[in-house]
Amino acid sequence: MDIFEKIAKHMGPLGQHQKWSHGYFSFPKLEGEIAPHMNFRGKEHLVWSLNNYLGLANHPEVREADQQGAAEFGMAYPMGARMMSGNSKYHEQLESELAAFVGKPDAFLLNFGYQGMVSIIDCLVDRNDVIVYDGESHACIIDGLRLHLGKRFVYKHNDIESARKQLERATKLVEQTGGGILVITEGVFGMSGAQGKIKEIIDLKKEFNFRLLIDDAHGFGTMGPTGAGTHEEQDSIDGVDIYFATFAKSMAGIGAFVASTEEMTNFFRYNMRSQTFAKALPMPMVIGLLKRLELLKNNPELREKLWHIATSLQQGLRDRGFDLGITNTMVTPVFLKGELLQATALTMDLRENYGIFCSIVVYPVIPKGLIELRLIPTAMHTIADVERTLEAFSEIADKLNSGYYNENKFIPQ
């Protein structure tokens, strides 16, 4: 069969819906300044879908730093991969400041978050090593696992007894292969909002010999007394062997970093193929990230405002009987019972009649029969935004329960 013909018949679980969902449910265009209120299809909407946790995307000092970096260096500088010709004192300064902030001896900049995690796993383990990972790990972790030539064992989400059983299996196997064990979890699981059980996993080091890698994309800048991350929140900085986070969430930028011991960080510098053979992070982004990190560290009121909005939103939803699952972070999932038809209908109702834009999640990302409306609070939202959302969600829940969304009339034109 021709490859194109095969793909035309099987566009994938999400791609099969692209003809009617594109531009509305998938690949929507939000226009205007990055803020809680933006335009969608020509109308103002209250937006809960931007990972701009601390509101740094349009902070005046950030905008100025981005502009100055572009004016001084242009987008092309530095020219080449870091190892060959693309290094600079600013890249090294950012690495040094990031390492100190998250409590590690050294850090290495990565061009992209998703690619960064894939590359860390690919670089770190060989066919003799065994990976033990959380069952709800992010797609970037799963794709990294697919490159692993050795064994991998999955444990039930945040289930320490399940993790212990998989570590027992892994220990028996590496006794034969001569390899090591890498455990991977997330600091904050982006879909459920649950914190990974980092402290409990570290306690398992008393029984097993392994190293721990955490993906803290959502926790960096938002969790912990200083915002250093979920490992700080759980008083577990020393127990995390490799710390990874992205700039796409609290830093409102592009790129990522990995932090560990000096030896391990240098190993990544000299062995991570995706960085060795890729152009360095552009200077305007690096200059802008230095300013973002400065603001993140020196303005705790931004994190306090984020949490004030998040707790107000979550408590208000719970008081109205909504199921938020097990979130104990700022990520706010709202779970409703329904299928794709009801999900698209109530989402359109929210957008067209209430002017509220939030992400919709359905099967195969979550189990069949469930609808998740995923809300991302930020420091830029207001209590008025929260109250408007609570009222709207109460009304759509009543409509859902009454069968209002069962008719196939809510298809975007």
pLDDT at 388 over 80: yes
Q: In this structure, which topology does domain 60-298 adopt according to CATH? A: Aspartate Aminotransferase; domain 2 (3.40.640)
pLDDT at 366: 80
Q: Specify the DSSP class assigned to residue 329.
A: S
pLDDT at 407 over 80: no
pLDDT at 269: 97
pLDDT at 367: 83
What are 19-77's pLDDT values in tens digits?
888 989 889 999 999 999 999 999 999 999 999 999 999 999 999 999 999 999 999 99
Give the tokens for residue 403.
């069968």
What are 87-97's pLDDT values in tens digits?
999 999 999 99
Does the domain at 11-47+300-406 match CATH 3.40.50.2000? Answer given as no
Burial of 354 (0-12, 13-18, 19+ CB in 10 A): middle
* Distance between CA atoms of residues 35 and 26, nearest Å: 20
Q: What is the CA radius of gyration of the chain?
A: 22
pTM of the model: 0.95
What are 237-288's pLDDT values in tens digits?
999 999 999 999 999 999 999 999 999 999 999 999 999 999 999 999 999 9
pLDDT at 362: 85
Q: Residue 364 — pLDDT band, cuts 50, 70, 90?
A: confident
Average pLDDT over residues 316-339: 96
Average pLDDT over residues 174-195: 96
> DSSP string of 387-406?
HHHHHHHHHHHHHHHHTGGG
Higher-confidence residue of 153 and 360: namely 153
What are 213-239's pLDDT values in tens digits?
999 999 999 999 999 999 999 999 999
pLDDT at 118: 96
Q: Residue 412 — pLDDT band, cuts 50, 70, 90?
A: low
In the chain, CATH 3.40.640.10 sits at 60-298
Quick one: what percent of the chain has pLDDT higher than 90? 90
- The residues near 155 (Cβ < 8 Å, ≥ 6 apart) are 132, 133, 134, 135, 162, 163, 165, 166
Q: Residue 387 — pLDDT band, cuts 50, 70, 90?
A: very high
In the chain, CATH 3.90.1150.10 sits at 11-47+300-406
pLDDT at 410 over 80: no
Picking from 206, 182, 201, the residue whose alpha carbon sits closest to that of residue 130 is 182
Residue matched to tokens 């590359």 = 119
pLDDT at 408: 55
CA atoms within 13 A on the CB side of 324: 22
Q: Residue 189 — pLDDT band, cuts 50, 70, 90?
A: very high
* Distance between CA atoms of residues 142 and 147, nearest Å: 9
pLDDT at 113: 93
What are 120-129's pLDDT values in tens digits?
999 999 999 9
Q: How far is CA 164 from CA 57, 171, 231, 289, in A?
A: 41, 10, 20, 39
Give the tokens for residue 351.
């957008």
Q: Which of 273-287, 333-347, 395-409 has the lowest mean pLDDT?
A: 395-409
pLDDT at 12: 85
pLDDT at 280: 94
